[in-house]
Amino acid sequence: MRSITWSFSRAGSGFTMASVTEIHQLLERIERDHGVRIIHACESGSRAWGFASPDSDYDIRFIFVKDADSYLSVQEGLESIDLPLEGELDAGGWDVRKAVRLLGKSNGALVEWLHSPVIYRSEPGLRERWQEVAREVFSPRASSDHYRGLAKQMLFSKLDTDAVRAKDYLYALRAVLAAKWVADGKGIPPVLFATMVPTAPQAIQDLIPGLLEHKARTTEGERMPRIQALDEFLRDFLNASVTLDQGPRDITALDRLLRFEINRPVSILKPDDFTLERVRQPDLLLLDTVAGSHAYGTAIDGSDEDRRGVFVAPRSFLSGLDGIEQVADERNDQVYYELGHFVSLLLRNNPNALELLAMPEDCVRHSHPLFKLLDPQIFLSKLCAKTFGEYAMGQIRKARGLNKKIVNPQPEERLTMLSFCHVPEGQGSLPVLEWLSLKGLDPTRCGITGVQHAAGIFAIYHDPGTAYRGLVSPKDADALVFSSVAVKAEPIGWMHFNQDAFRAHCKAHREYWEWVSQRNEERYTTNVEHGRGYDSKNLMHTLRLLDMAGEIAREGVLRIRRPNRDQLLRIRAGEFSYEELVEKAEEQLVEVTRAFEKSSLPDHPDRDRVNRLLVEIREGF
């Protein structure tokens, strides 16, 4: 849950919707960068107290929770997050375990976070739970010591010169009034300064509006003359001795609160929640790498940057009814596999999956330590002979497919159904619309019927006195429409509808224009310029795959960055004929097949070992 509670003192708080949006974005980035969940975030400092200056920073404070398993480790792990100042945003927070410990000491800063009038984010019921425990374990002595210490720090380090800042007076005065609130037995002091002002002597109350007005209209560094009455009030209060109760020592409530926050169930992700942005967040991401030509070493100017990765779906999701295999963009330029699906691809020696196990270091953007457990030697087997070979020959088929598209472009407008309807005429035939036009007949005034035992043949009728339905259905331009015909009516001709040719045209037209909309223009231009009539990049990948397969068979290694870059780029540039490359690929495939027959690699990966490895990674992530 995210909420913002506006609280304006007489001095004004200076919040804008733009600043709140920036704060929410900052909190989301902190979660992504540190792999934590922020359960409470608020404003602290002068903006929460009600006397901000025009140039006051936003003091954003938060409590975060890590993965539940991290609290079972002997190592302390991340206890606090402190970020450098970003413009006006000053953010910092504590881990929930540290926060609960400080709550047990009635830490003044933490208690104020829980009672801040400005909340940026807080999970349902959290403030109520923590405030209740804060009251239960409240130590008047610890709270008083905290505020008296703050006041002394201001008095003896900031208020010891002839000219002082209104800010320092207000900070010291607020701390003294908070300590007085505790000493008077009122419990936890309020965050808003205005609530405590009535507890001050009237003479001091009369000075406060002037201090607030000065701070509200000036910058933080502007100074003012000392105020003797205020100096005396602060010193007299701090010099007076006070004896307060230590408070309860039972930590049962604290333990209960900590266990609840750590084990509190979070919302279960749905399949639609797994977007590219979401799976790249640290709490899910196992691997993120640049792939494709940049990894192979065959990138040229204008080459796209493909991304591949692996993510781990949360246990809560995997325990439910839904499942997910991968997340990708429309063109499959960015593909992230869920760990279970990724491992199943590795078991089958899928080339796209295997290459992620040995990506060049300069391509890897993120790699979780657990990903290193997926050693290529665990997966490489004789299955690669089939998977790499079939994939390579598939690239040849793709290259041939492009040849067909280049040589046989489709018109922008698809041909109509009637373009495939012809009427026998003499020793040949005429398109039905042309035949009717020669006879001076309106197609919409004609009718057709099917002919028994003659599939694809239709009788054509025309009678000025009969209202026939025409040839084409008004509801579907790709369907014929039939008319009721009198028993004695005579056909004026016979029409043949080549339905198979029409369907083939529709399919070719759809596929061609889908290809046009999705094609890589730089790649297409290269293929047109070299004029070979095939997709040279597909054939480059064919030979690259066969090279890699040979290395796997003979050396047992995955070599992603190709040593023969220049040769591959010559293929991509179209320096060889289609026939030359196909012949070379077929010869190389035979050699690779023989190499695998002699290889010492296992027939297939050890499924039980891989299964144990998958469980180990899921448990450890």
Q: How many CA atoms lie within 13 A of 138 on its CB side?
A: 20
Return the pLDDT at 343. 98
What is Dmax (Cα atoms) for the chain? 123
Return the pLDDT at 11. 32
The Cα–Cα gap between 350 and 344 comes to 9
Return the pLDDT at 387. 94
The answer to whether 559 and 359 have CB atoms below 8 angstroms apart is no
Neighbours of 42 (CB within 10 A): 24
Residue type, 511: E
Following DSSP, what letter does each residue of 261-303 receive, concatenated? Answer: HHHPPPPPP-GGG--HHHHTSTTTEEEEEEETHHHHT---TT-
The answer to whether 45 and 98 have CB atoms below 8 angstroms apart is no
In this predicted model, what pLDDT tens digit does every residue of 560-582 receive, in sequence order?
A: 999 999 999 998 888 888 888 88
Q: What are 205-212's contacts with CB under 8 Å, separation 24+?
A: 208/173, 209/10, 211/51, 211/166, 211/169, 211/170, 211/173, 212/9, 212/10, 212/11, 212/51, 212/170
The answer to whether 374 and 340 have CB atoms below 8 angstroms apart is no
* Residue ranges of the chain with per-residue pLDDT less than 70: 1-18, 265-266, 397-408, 515-534
Contacts of 371 (CB under 8 A, 6+ apart): 286, 287, 310, 617
Return the pLDDT at 249. 78
Compute the Cα dihedral for 409, 541, 549, 346 and give only its sign.
Answer: negative
Return the pLDDT at 389. 86
Q: How many CA atoms lie within 13 A of 131 on its CB side?
A: 15
Return the pLDDT at 398. 59
Find residue 459's DSSP bridge partners.
449, 494
Return the pLDDT at 12. 37
Question: Where does 187-267 have alpha helices with state H?
Answer: 193-196, 202-217, 228-239, 252-263
Tell me the pTM. Answer: 0.51
Q: How far is CA 272 from CA 280, 318, 422, in A?
A: 15, 14, 50
